[in-house]
Amino acid sequence: MTRLVAVLSAFLLLAGCAGPDLEKRNFPRSTIAAEVGNTTATSGASPTSRVPAGKAVDPAFAADKLRLVDPCALLTRDLLARLGEPGAESRSGFSRCSNFMKDGSGKDLGVTVELGQTMTVELEDADKELAGLRSHEQVLENSACFVSVITQDAPGLGITVQIGYEDGDACALGRQVMESVVEQVKARKGVITPAQGSLVALDPCALPDEAAVQAAIGRGGHRVFPYGLHNCSWTGTDREVTLDLRRTFVPSDRKFEDEQTEVDLGDGVKGYQVSAATAFPSCEVLWVQRTEQDREGEVVKVKAAGPEESEFDRCAAAVAFAKTLLGKIPRA
């Protein structure tokens, strides 16, 4: 089990390098650690041959629809009971949910679903079909399987089911879970009504106006890079700014980083600022949008970054960009 945890953790760390730097130590990416014995699958048929790219996007999988689906609601007790004995659910962000359970012989089994995941390699290598969608599978040292389906091509988005285990066919279980997840999303199961002031339904790429983006990244043209359902980056010639809307743990003392400083964002909003002096220096500013029970909550995080030779005040840029967003985000 220890070896499996280490292998899966390393894999997820590498997978995270494909997108923006979303993960600080206060925002850990969860992993799956499990093994399966005599689990019985009622489906899990092998996927078929390649489906041509460019199929029309099913409206059920539009980004604005997926933002309002509770991923934990898709891992239903009935579905998990087919695999063994369901355990406690574990949320990570708005769009990821895991269940750490037992299989039919009492061995550990981990199931994770992530909605609206950015697809890069999966988009290029999706050579199968599952539940009517192009699909891709990746096996990790025979101890885990990642089953992904492509829900749209531009930008590449999809759904991933992750099954972790050492002695069994994790991909067969992954296909079974994915078939159920896709069916439920199409049927609009698990749709939530956002709480007042929640960030969950907001499109981060649509929030800032053009003037705010230009002020943050400097003169000249820029490119927009959506990442998942709740993150967006704008990249100019020598700098970039990123907006991350996140559900996460909120410390009681609001100490997100050891070296953070408080900053007044106006309108009674207190922000928390921290700089990183790396080869690609950055400054992050976040504020707490709302809190829930058990110290869970939602935060808005803005990051301004650029190479060392790019001389601009990263913290001033991040703070200014954050201030332009305050009036566009409903208050809790």
Give me the pLDDT at residue 294, please: 80
What SS3 state is found at 119? Answer: coil
Q: Could you tell me the two tokens for 314?
A: 């990263």
Largest CA-CA distance found in the chain, in angstroms, rounded = 62
CB-CB contact of 244 with 230 (8 Å)? yes
Exposure string for 160-176, b = 16+ CB within 10 A, e = fewer: bbbbbbbebbbbbbbbb
Give me the pLDDT at residue 298, please: 97
Give me the pLDDT at residue 142, please: 67
Cα separation of 47 and 113, whole Å? 19
Give me the pLDDT at residue 24, please: 33
- Which residues fall within 8 angstroms of residue 295, CB to CB, at 6 or more apart? 249, 250, 251, 252
**pLDDT tens, N- to C-terminus, the chain (332 residues):** 333 333 333 333 333 333 333 333 232 333 222 333 334 333 444 443 333 445 567 899 999 999 999 999 999 999 999 999 999 999 999 999 999 999 999 888 999 999 999 999 999 999 999 999 999 999 987 679 999 999 999 899 999 999 998 767 899 999 999 999 999 999 999 999 999 999 999 999 999 999 999 999 987 788 999 999 999 999 999 999 999 999 999 999 899 988 899 999 998 999 999 999 888 999 999 999 999 888 899 999 999 999 999 989 999 999 999 999 999 998 87
Cα–Cα distance list, 20 to 16, 41, 60, 109, 157 (Å): 8, 36, 26, 30, 15
Neighbours of 183 (CB within 10 A): 13
Cα separation of 317 and 293, whole Å? 33
Q: What phi, psi does 18 have (nearest 5°)?
A: -75, -20
Cβ burial of 45 (10 Å; 0-12, 13-18, 19+) is exposed
Q: What phi, psi does 242 have (nearest 5°)?
A: -125, 140
Neighbours of 27 (CB within 10 A): 16
Q: What is the CATH number of domain 204-326?
A: 3.40.1000
Q: What is the DSSP string of 270-298?
A: EEEEEEE-SSS-EEEEEEEEEE-GGGEEE
Q: Could you tell me the two tokens for 164?
A: 């972790």
Neighbours of 310 (CB within 10 A): 16
CB-CB contact of 35 with 167 (8 Å)? yes
Ranges for all domains in the chain classified under CATH 3.40.1000: 204-326
Give me the pLDDT at residue 108, please: 86
